[in-house]
Chain A
Amino acid sequence: MSSFNGEIVLIVAAILFVLGLIGVLTRKNIIFILLSVEIMLNSAGLAFVAAGAKWQQPDGQVMFLFILAMAAAEVSVGLALVLQIYHQHKTLDVDGLKELRD
């Protein structure tokens, strides 16, 4: 249909990824961290789809499907864990979960 530079798409994906990364590093609330992880996953999927679109193959989209399924599973299990954490520590501060150390 139309053509445009592939780098732009990948740059957009990179920007989204880095934004998600900033979100992970900056926020203390577990919910927000999980949210930012979702952003990162989504950007990775965007990169895949862009790659698939370049080669005009469905492989990129298939990969995106898998990523999606994985994100869904991960979110459900992750949120269940966050539930337990909330009930035990009464807070959603990720810095309170420091017991796995030396």
Chain B
Amino acid sequence: MSLLFYISSFVAILATVMVITRYHPIHALLYLVVSLLAVAMVFLSLGAPFVAVLEVIIYAGAIMVLFIFFIMMLNLGSETAQQEKNWLQPRVWVGPSLLSLVLLGEVVMLLLKGQNIVIQTSVVDARKVALSLYGEYIVGVELTGFLLMAGIVGAAHIGKQKKRNLHRFLQENENTGTTIKTIICPPSTVK
């Protein structure tokens, strides 16, 4: 069991390193999916099958897929990869990485200072989680419902594109930021 744990954690870390260093967004996303799956394995080895499955279904399956759809919608492809290559200069990542590694070092020191924690893994199965959820944490569940509702409504509203029907001679760019020479273009087709 512990072997599973070590291998999974190693994979997770490696995959995460790959996530943050890729140029192409799809590559990064896919690596992230791998990382999430590895973390799910870690959960399993810790005796938490319910959240392992949850991780796979929701995190890797819904959220990451949402990301992928988003990228496909915006059509971020090779230009993005090129752009990222230009942006990711060594002078950009050396400083923050050092700072964060210092943080890591300190946290590790903190962790190693305390007394030894020994985890006796025993499976906490879905039944126990469900009982706890609908027992003690019922209020939290309801609030999570609120949160998700707010998320839905917010996302739906913010993401809406305002469609204005203007005569094609009066088409100006709907964006207020840049001033592009007005080229009469047909009404926007991207929705």
Contacts and interface: CB of A to CB of B under 8 A. Distances in A.
Q: Do chains A and B touch in the complex (CB under 8 A)?
A: yes
Interface of A: 1-12, 14-16, 18-23, 25-29, 31-32, 34-36, 38-39, 42, 45-46, 49-50, 52-54, 56-62, 64-66, 68-77, 79-84, 86-90, 92-93
22 contacts: A6-B119, A7-B114, A14-B107, A26-B97, A27-B87, A29-B80, A35-B32, A36-B19, A36-B20, A39-B16, A49-B46, A50-B46, A58-B124, A58-B131, A64-B54, A68-B54, A68-B59, A76-B151, A82-B70, A88-B176, A89-B175, A90-B177
Contact of B48 (A14, A22, A36, A49): A49
B184 interface: no
A83 B159 CA distance: 7
B16 A19 contact: yes
Contacts, number: 251
Interface in B45-73: 46-48, 50-51, 54-55, 58-59, 62-63, 66-67, 70-71, 73
A62 B126 CA distance: 10
Q: Main SS of chain B's interface residues?
A: helix
A80 B49 CA distance: 32
Contacts of B119: 3-6, 9, 50, 53-54
B9 interface: yes
